[in-house]
Amino acid sequence: RAIVRDLTGVAEQNPALPPGRVPIQEVDPTVFETRFLRKIKDLGEGHFGKVELCQYDPRGDGRGQLVAVKSLKPESRGQLWREIDTMRELYHHNISSALIMEYLPAGSLKDYLPWRKHQTDLRRLLHYALQICQGMDYLGSQRFIHRDLAARNVLVENESTVKIGDFGLTKSMKEDKSYYTVREETDSPVFWYAPECLVDCKFYPASDVWSFGVTLYELLTYCETSSSPTTVFLEMLRPIQGQMNITQLVEVLMAGRRLPCPPHCPDAHKKENCIYKDKHVFPGVFIRAAF
Ligand code: ADP
Ligand code: MG
């Protein structure tokens, strides 16, 4: 069975190749055969499936490349094919490629940040935020809405580079539309959603900006579970017998209540809060404005 592979790597290894052409004498590098995949361990599990660390070892000598393989629960298979279609259309430095992916040992920002608090200063957090913006800007320019932007879906390539991943919920806007209407809704990341998504099931590029705000909150709280959006919103809602409904959440948001400003959140207009002093000024004022 053919699965789309890491197109980033292919492009980097073959810079001279015109797009869409592969030398005939070689094995097609865009095709992975599942029979050569050997599972090593589980990497993570999301709403719809799981990601496993595998070795791709077609020669059978145990020296094959390490890859992260995403597979979905049988009921979500249609979703996987949609995600593959989405990935085919996207190529950008801050967008991760799927669905057999390069293995990123550091995992997502949610796996990484809680353990790196002391090595990760504000400047670095803002640099991650900037890269997320750049990836999202590209996604928007291609008329896609991600719909699941969250720290758990931002992968850490190395300590200075992050990539947006998990395009399982990503939708393409039709030419004549500026939003996407969701028909079948399964298990949504509601605490990352803007009111219009919760009330009307409409997703605009600006709805991703709301999720970016929540992701920024996660960054500035170092993805600590005790102050995660889910924990904090559930405390606000005080669900009756563990039951929370969307109406309650909408009421809270409409009343203007938001996630609290994280401790150590930078104040506006401080020079040292700019990532790049000359060109890309990204001052703390944006950060405060988000809460
Ligand atoms: P889901 O649709 O199940 O949420 P994700 O693509 O978000 O799938 O992956 C789930 C988790 O698996 C991530 O939060 C991360 O911890 C881990 N993971 C995903 N991709 C990789 C990768 N390329 N390398 C290492 N870990 C990964
Ligand atoms: Mg995910």
Partners of 181 in the β-ladder = 202
Ligand 1 in reach of 108 Cβ (< 6 A): yes
Kindly report, residue by residue over 233-291, the tens digit of the pLDDT: 988 887 666 667 788 899 999 998 999 989 878 775 455 544 444 333 343 334 444 44
DSSP-H helix ranges across 173-283: 195-200, 205-220, 229-237, 246-254
CA atoms 164, 167, 170, 172: torsion sign? positive
The residue contributing the CA closest to ligand 1 atom 1 is: 46
Question: At a CB cut-off of 8 Å and minimum separation 6, what does 152 contact?
Answer: 44, 46, 108, 109, 110, 166
Amino acid letter, 246: I
Residues with CB under 5 A from ligand 2 (ion): 46, 153, 166
Q: Is 51 annotated as a binding residue?
A: yes
Asked if the interface predicted TM-score (ipTM) of this complex is over 0.90, the answer is yes
Distance 107 CA to ligand 1 centre (A): 7
Q: Is 47 annotated as a binding residue?
A: yes
Locate 28 and state its tokens.
Answer: 């097609």
Q: 28, 61, 137, 148: which one is catalytic? A: 148
Question: Tokens 């947006």 correspond to what residue?
Answer: 164
**pLDDT tier for residue 207 given thresholds of 50, 70 and 90:** very high
Q: Is 44 annotated as a binding residue?
A: yes
- Rounded CA-CA distance 274/23 in Å is 46
Ligand 1 in reach of 46 Cβ (< 6 A): yes
Coil/strand/helix, residue 281? coil
Kindly report, residue by residue over 146-203, the tens digit of the pLDDT: 999 999 999 999 999 999 988 877 878 876 777 777 665 556 789 999 999 999 988 9
Coil/strand/helix, residue 144? strand
The answer to whether residue 166 is catalytic is no
Atom number, ligand 1, closest to the C-alpha of residue 67: 23
